Amino acid sequence: MAFHVGQKVVCVAVPQRGVYPDVLPEIGVIYTIRDVFDHIAGTFVRVHEIKNPVRLYEDIGMAECRFTTLAFRPVVERKTSIKVFEEILNREKVDA
């Protein structure tokens, strides 16, 4: 599944906490992706709604905490249409 900057995602699993007291995403909360990273260990994201301090990581050097995409799923935005209800209402008016 491809993730992209600007995409709305919902947290479905809390990512594993590292050794630092970073702020983590919460299950059920919707976030907006601000960065996407491909790494040998998988694909990771950072979100606009969470900012953590930059720290030294063994595998990537100085960076802000990132979260595995396995903890998120895309938000499917559906536009609600009341057209079907308007058609029912109009049919009832014609039948009356």
pTM of this prediction exceeds 0.75: no
Where are the chain's structural domains? 8-95
- Cβ(14)–Cβ(72) below 8 Å: no
Instruction: Give the tens place of pLDDT for each residue, 55-92.
Output: 887 777 898 988 999 999 999 877 777 777 788 888 76
pLDDT of residue 1: 67
Mean pLDDT of all residues in 30-42: 91
User: What separation in angstroms does the CA of 23 have from each of 76, 82, 85, 91?
Assistant: 25, 40, 44, 54
